[in-house]
Amino acid sequence: MSFPRLRSTWFSVLGVVLISLVNVTPAYAQWTVKGRVVDSTDRQPMTSAQVVLVREGDSLRVGAVTRKDGSFVMEDVAAGRWSAKVTFIGYRSLTRSVTITNADVDLGTIVLAAGANLTDEVTVTGKAVSAIQKGDTVEYNAAAFKVNKAASAEDLVQKMPGVTMQDGRVQAQGEQVQQVLVDGRQFFGNDPNVALRNLPAEMIESIQVYDQASDQNQFSRAADANARKTLNIVTKKSMRNGAFGRAFAGYGGEDSRYKAGATMNVFDSTRRYTILAQSNNVNEQNFAIEDIVGAFGGGGGRGGMMRRMAMMAPGGGGGGRPMFRGGGGGMSDFFVDQRNGITTTHAGGINYSDMWGESINVTASNFFNYSDNVADQSLFRQYTVPTQFGNVYDERSDVSSSNINNRFTARLDIRLDSTQSLLWSPRFTLQQNDGVNDVLGLSRSDADVLGSTRTTQTTDYAGMTFGNDLLYRLRFAKPGRTLAVNANISYTANDGTNDLFSSTTSTVTSIVDTLEQRSTLDQGVWTINPSVTLTEPFDTLSSLAVQASTNIQTTLSDRLTNRASETDVYNILDTAQSNTLRSTYAVHQVSPTYRYGDRDFGFELGVTGQMAELDNEQQFPFTSTVRRTFWNVLPNANLRYQISKDANLRLFYRARTSAPSADQLQDAVTTSNPLQLTAGDPNLRQDLTHTLFTRYSANDVASGTTFFALLRGEFTYDYIANSVTIAERDTAIADGIILPQGGQLTRPVNLDGYVSLRAFATYGFPVEFLSSNLNLFGSVTWTRTPGLVNGLENIATTPSANAGFALASNISEGVDFTISTNYTFSSVSNSVLSERNIDYINGSSRLRLSWEFIPKLTIVSDLVHTLTSGYSEGYDQSIILWNAALAWRFLADDRGELRLSANDILQRNTAISRSVSESSVDDTRATVLQRWAVLMFTYDLRVF
> Poorest-confidence range of 25-29, 345-349, 365-369?
25-29
Query: Is the pLDDT assigned to residue 296 strictly greater than 60?
Result: no
Highest mean pLDDT among 112-116, 281-285, 378-382, 524-528: 524-528
pLDDT tier at 25 (50, 70, 90 boundaries)?
very low
Contact call for residues 876 and 869 (beta carbons, < 8 A): yes
Nearest to 92 by CA among 119, 64, 60, 62: 119
Alpha carbon 128 to its chain centroid, in Å, reads 32
| Predicted pLDDT of residue 312 | 27
Element (H, E) at 156: helix 153-157
Once rounded to an integer, what is the mean pLDDT over residues 388-416? 88
Once rounded to an integer, what is the mean pLDDT over residues 203-232? 80
| Predicted pLDDT of residue 812 | 85
| Predicted pLDDT of residue 13 | 35
pLDDT tier at 320 (50, 70, 90 boundaries)?
very low
Element (H, E) at 425: strand 420-445
Nearest to 905 by CA among 877, 924, 886: 886
The string of pLDDT tens digits covering residues 630-670 is 999 999 999 999 898 888 999 999 999 998 887 788 777 88
The residues near 168 (Cβ < 8 Å, ≥ 6 apart) are: 193, 336, 337, 339
Contact call for residues 361 and 395 (beta carbons, < 8 A): no
Q: What type of residue is 750?
A: N
The string of pLDDT tens digits covering residues 224-280 is 667 788 889 998 888 888 898 999 999 997 789 999 999 999 998 889 999 999 999
Query: Is the pLDDT assigned to residue 27 strictly greater than 50?
Result: no
| Predicted pLDDT of residue 388 | 59
pLDDT tier at 223 (50, 70, 90 boundaries)?
low
For the four alpha carbons of 354, 356, 362 and 363, in that order, the dihedral sign comes to: negative
Nearest to 398 by CA among 378, 418, 412, 416: 378
| Predicted pLDDT of residue 341 | 84
SS3 state at 195:
helix
pLDDT tier at 316 (50, 70, 90 boundaries)?
very low
Determine what percent of the chain is predicted with pLDDT higher than 70. 87
- Greatest alpha-carbon span in the chain: 95
Mean pLDDT taken over the chain: 83
Sheet holding 163-166, edge to edge: 163-166, 169-172, 175-176
Question: Which string of DSSP letters, residue by residue, matches 807-826?
Answer: EEE-S-SSEEEEEEEEEEEE
**Whole-prediction pTM value?**
0.77
The string of pLDDT tens digits covering residues 540-556 is 899 999 999 999 999 99
| Predicted pLDDT of residue 224 | 64
For the four alpha carbons of 116, 119, 123 and 128, in that order, the dihedral sign comes to: negative
Nearest to 169 by CA among 312, 287, 269, 39: 287
The string of pLDDT tens digits covering residues 577-624 is 888 889 999 999 999 999 998 888 999 999 999 999 989 888 888 788
Nearest to 910 by CA among 861, 872, 877: 877
The residues near 569 (Cβ < 8 Å, ≥ 6 apart) are: none
Q: How far apart are CA 259 and CA 345, in angstroms?
A: 9
CA atoms within 13 A on the CB side of 908: 14
The string of pLDDT tens digits covering residues 835-884 is 678 899 999 999 999 999 999 999 999 999 999 999 888 899 999 999 99
| Predicted pLDDT of residue 331 | 29
SS3 state at 142:
helix
Long-range contacts of 723-727, Cβ-Cβ distance < 8 Å, separation of 24 or more: 723/747, 723/748, 723/749, 723/787, 723/788, 723/789, 724/385, 724/787, 724/788, 724/789, 724/790, 724/919, 725/789, 725/790, 726/383, 726/387, 726/389, 726/390, 726/789, 726/790, 727/389, 727/390
Paired sense of beta strands 838-854 and 705-717, if any: unpaired
Cis? peptide before 621, omega within 30° of 0: yes
> Poorest-confidence range of 73-82, 408-417, 894-903?
73-82
Q: Which domains does the chain have, with CATH numbers?
A: 8-112 (2.60.40.10), 131-239 (2.170.130.10), 283-752 (2.40.170)
| Predicted pLDDT of residue 593 | 94
Once rounded to an integer, what is the mean pLDDT over residues 476-498? 93
Q: How far apart are CA 192 and CA 781, in angstroms?
A: 26
| Predicted pLDDT of residue 124 | 35
The string of pLDDT tens digits covering residues 769-818 is 888 889 999 999 999 999 998 888 889 999 999 999 999 988 888 899 99
Alpha carbon 377 to its chain centroid, in Å, reads 26
Q: How far apart are CA 734 and CA 254, in angstroms?
A: 53
The residues near 558 (Cβ < 8 Å, ≥ 6 apart) are: 520, 521, 522, 523, 579, 580, 581
